[in-house]
A and B are shown apart, each in its own frame.
Chain A
Amino acid sequence: MYIPNHDDINKFLSEAEQQHAMERKSIIPLLQATQRKYGFVPEYAMQKIGVMLGISSAEVYGVATFYSFIEVEPKGKYHIALSIDMPSKMAGVDDVAKRLEKDLGIKMGETTYDLMFSLEWTGCVGISDMSPAMIINEKIFPSITPEKASEIVKKLRHGEPVETEIPQSFTNDLSFDQVEKNSGLKNALELSPEEVRNLVKDSGLRGHGGAGFPTGMKWDFCANAEGDKKYVVCNADEGEPGCFKDMLIFSRFADKVIEGMTVAGYAVGADEGILYLRWEYAFMKEKLEEILEEKRAANMLGNKICGKDDFNFDIRLYFGAGAYVCGEETALIESIEGHRGEPRNKPPFPVTDGLFGKPTNVNNVETFAWVPCILAKGSEWYNSAGTENSKGYKLFSISGDCNKPGVFELAWGMSLNDIVELVDAKDPKAIQIGGYSGQLVPKKDFDRVLSYEDLATGGSVIIFDKSRNLYDIAENYLEFFIEESCGQCTPCRWGNTALLNHVEKMRQGKATRKETKDIETLSETMVLTSKCGLGQTSPNIVKNLMNDFADQL
């Protein structure tokens, strides 16, 4: 580790200049490249990047400090981040942290004097079924124990290589396995774009990211929006704690996602696709690039796809830099454009005013993955499963206190009792559905049903057994939201802190009735006035505690 001089930085950036368009949208890739080179982004480099892209250095600094995986101060050569999500906490991440603090002689958030190691907390890494997780630079280490962590650090200190492998998540039988590569796309190209959209509408497919907006209808909006250029964006910013289904999809069915994006490109009239991946998934870059190359070679991407004269479509990868809020589609768009990942005011929606102001269709990884299956097997195959308003199948990432965590493909409509049985959970007292932004359901309500009619979810299910403390859970959630709020709007910037303060008071038995009432009102205000889903849903846990667990507090 060394502090680079100006000549060195000039040389590095003039090389980088050849590989990136000198436009604002290259700012995050440039910051990431600089960080990869120097371990952090020196001040001089930020100023130079500003000059290269025609933006002020203060703005470059603003972007750099927004994302948690971009550092503006020298950090350790090895940047160790421990996952702080509830599944990791339950699996003993605190012990790992203590061990590392002892071994390295620093506290969490600090860097060793020799600039070899930095130690930090991070949000959910995306392998909750193999908790706790640790990231060192761009490598993910699953099921880490204090001993394993200590061993890894020892090796790194001696300059020995450390390798890691992430085992496949446990799964049941998955439909994606039954659909031949490219068959969905080929079927789609036999139809008109409108027919494709109608077929998707008939299937009843809804957005699998969590909000559940009808996919075919979104495609219609985008197809009908005026614009000389349209985009398809895949949201692979899987950051909802306890959600790891997208990681599984990429490890086994990445081609389906790409195929689904291509179908969407055809259906909405877009010629460019962007696959936005969270920084934690950077280790998948090479493999995904390979798949894209294969698709291009097979004429499944590129110009005149499958010989279709007027259909050109290609996909590029774009990596986020550490921000949960970028899972919100307009924040994600801002991030691709090279801004801080701050959600936009809606309306207008991305389907009319999206990426670079153009109509943009944003769907979740899983949504895209289902598309080729539906086109291959027919809309009836999909819509015959599920419930009245929740058609078809869905992947659920199940973790926490259970014996069989993993990713499960289930038809919509299972009750939580079914889930408890499926994953062999002993003595569960509550189940978190839909990640931290979802609902914490008490045992008495385990007959509730996974569906848009009842418990909507993007697929994260975390099981808590009777040994877990509700205040620990609520505080962990709120600390997460405080860390991850973009902070632009008042209710979310300050509201989450007020909620956390109140939960701490409740734990101490010091919350008065009036204060509780005020916090209830504040929760409502946050729901009603926050700019995006983050601040609109972060009070859920507080509302849950007060309404559903009052008898257990």
Chain B
Amino acid sequence: MSEDGKMVTATIDNIEVNVPEGTTILNAAKSVGIKIPTLCHHDDLKPKGLCRICVVEIEGYRNLQTSCTLPLSEGMVINTNSHQVRRARRDLVDLELSNHTGTCYTCNRSRNCTLRELADECGVTEFRFGEKQKADHEIEDSGLFIVRDMNKCIQCRNCERACKELQAVGAYGIKDRSNKIKIAAFADKELEETVCINCGQCITHCPTGALSVKDETEKVWDAIENPKKHVVIQTAPAPRSAIGECFGNDPGEEAMTFQLATALRRCGFDKVFDTTFTADLTIIEEATELLIRLKKALVDKDESIALPQFTSCSPGWIKYLEHFKPEMIPNVSSAKSPQQMFGAVIKTYYAQKNNINPDDIVSVALMPCVAKKFECSRPEMTDSGYKDVDIVLTTEEAAQMIKEAGMDLRKVPKSEYDAPFGASTGSGVIFGATGGVMEAALRTAIELITGLKAEDLFEHANITPVRGFEGSRIAEVTIDKVGAVPEILKAHFNDWEWLKGATLKVGVAHGTANANKVLADIEAGGPFSECHFIEFMGCPGGCLAGGGMPRPVNMDVREARAKILYDEDMHYEYRKSHENPEVAHLYQEFFTEGPCSHKAHDLLHTHYTARGVIID
């Protein structure tokens, strides 16, 4: 876009358009309500002009031009639907179809495949250039989270571009050329044998069924149908903001929080818990850890203490750090993610309390995330003596189960989550959006340290400086006065005097490309190096646009889902993690020595593995 605000005027389909200089023809057309079909285009990614579907006719140009790449210039006369254009589009879609194998009925994208929609919109009513009968590629599904069926791939490279541009991972490359081209991981290995961080952004950016989440619903049904098993499910905050989309809702239409509790119970889960419970627990553990680090660094002048402290709840982010910046692993909070804390608590505290053999518990987690499938399989995630979480379902998989059970989620009555982990707070809910963990942490930190209410500092306790979708952000809170140390923290602190007058600096970054920039900034001694605590989310937008969330995902969708979560937050009785009565109860009954105690460390904390980028 032009910086001097220059505008250009042109004609598209006889409509005059006036847009800032630099606007692509595609976006200019959109601004006057003309939809030009696209296939390889994605608003999140830099335009490449690969599929050529978006071609338009421009007076004075010999050939058709791709509207996604070409900026509008003054006086252009453009036709988006001439005979030439329509015929070309039809041929192009037909060419893709002639090299696309797989049956639409059984495809995971039968409901929302861009290629299928285009075939309809462009009038492809027969296969003019042949129909591919035989699959050329073996389906790759030996890993934990992804199924890659390259027979359905249309080489739009959205996966490769998302992995590079949004995530700065570069797990995908383009192998060979011409009709042998294959979107491949390094040396054509299975993706999960490489530096892949399991974030699943490739899946959410795929326009066809080529990439999908590894389906584990059958495993869950088997457990449910096994009378010996006690099957519990925890539900993360983000899925409730989007699962309605799988049933025909528009993004942002309605939160499905309490319909979900009913539907899952009707599917046969013995207990339906809310992960926001351990989100709150995470806040307590992580905030305590931060205060301990700060005290050691500021009061004890211990130079070995790594600051800023990084959040640890996003497993995509964690694997990113392990591969690309292992030297900064000491900065990561040792607190497990809410999912894994939940798993550890269920197979210990919950099992004991309810007199259930942990071996008979099947612990399922409904997550917005595919990296969680990897996380629960990490060898270190067995502190309960068992696999802490057995199976992770993504939002789309859960929707599939609910459909299979014959329900339309939108029409299911609401019900509460089950005790003893059913109480949630607004803070736990906003974990699903970028900045949410930091906001929750700040609300709690402010209140525990100053004795004031978060509302005294921020209207309605909405800490808006950490909200939004900017790639990275910094916020500050000055601690003018300090209060008494609350009971729960007395094992670690006598007073807060050492914090009086201090300014707490926090940072937020989402999408690992942004995370990468923040890490580089810290290394270079930039503004983020002065932060005390930084929230990192692996996926752009945070969990609400995670790799296991309904497709498609774009900026409008992210905003709509975020709005749901922030609206929900306002309606909770408790809006701060330390107010969660069930969390307080857990510390009274089980982690009796408080947060970051020996027992808490045994069950609620973990360690990480330096992996590097060279993989043998």
Contact = CB atoms under 8 A, between A and B. Distances in A.
Nearest to B71: A347
Nearest to B40: A490
Interface in B485-508: none
Contact of A491 (B52, B154, B177, B188): B52
Nearest to B176: A65
A66 interface: yes
A529 B173 contact: no
Interface residues of A, number: 51
A482 B176 CA distance: 12
A521 B129 CA distance: 11
Contacts of B186: 43, 46-47, 56-58, 60-61
Contacts of A43: 186-187
Contact of B185 (A58, A340, A347): A58
B524 interface: no
A531 B52 contact: yes
A529 B187 contact: no
Q: Which of B170, B174, B616 is the most central at the interface, judged by chain A CB atoms within 10 Å of its CB?
A: B174
A109 to B, nearest CB: 13
B177 A485 contact: yes
A484 B55 CA distance: 24
A460 interface: no
B598 interface: no
Contact of A58 (B55, B129, B155, B172): B172
Contacts of B87: 521, 524-525
A518 B128 contact: yes
A496 B181 CA distance: 14
Nearest to B155: A493
A284 B488 CA distance: 78
B194 interface: yes
B80 to A, nearest CB: 14
Contacts of A389: none
A498 B95 contact: yes
A489 B52 contact: yes
B88 interface: yes
Interface in A506-553: 515, 518, 521-522, 524-525, 527-531, 536
Contact of B613 (A50, A66, A521): A50
B275 interface: no
Interface string B96-113: 101100000000000000
B173 A522 contact: no
B582 to A, nearest CB: 44
B177 A486 contact: yes
Contacts of B170: 55-59
B52 A501 contact: no
A203 B271 CA distance: 86
B175 A65 contact: yes
B184 interface: yes
A12 interface: no
A1 interface: no
A487 B179 contact: yes
List the 8 closest pairs (A to B, CB-CB), nearest first. Answer: A56-B170, A58-B173, A62-B173, A485-B178, A525-B91, A487-B181, A487-B178, A494-B95
Interface of B: 48-53, 55, 63-64, 66, 69-70, 84, 87-88, 91-92, 95-96, 98-99, 128-130, 154-155, 164, 169-181, 184-188, 194-195, 613-616
29 contacts: A43-B187, A44-B616, A47-B186, A48-B614, A55-B170, A57-B194, A57-B614, A58-B172, A58-B185, A59-B164, A59-B170, A347-B70, A484-B177, A487-B177, A487-B181, A490-B51, A491-B91, A491-B95, A493-B181, A494-B95, A496-B179, A497-B179, A521-B91, A525-B91, A528-B63, A528-B84, A528-B88, A529-B52, A531-B66
Given A55-B170, A61-B173, A345-B66, 9 more contacts: A58-B186, A61-B184, A345-B70, A484-B178, A487-B180, A494-B129, A495-B95, A522-B95, A522-B128
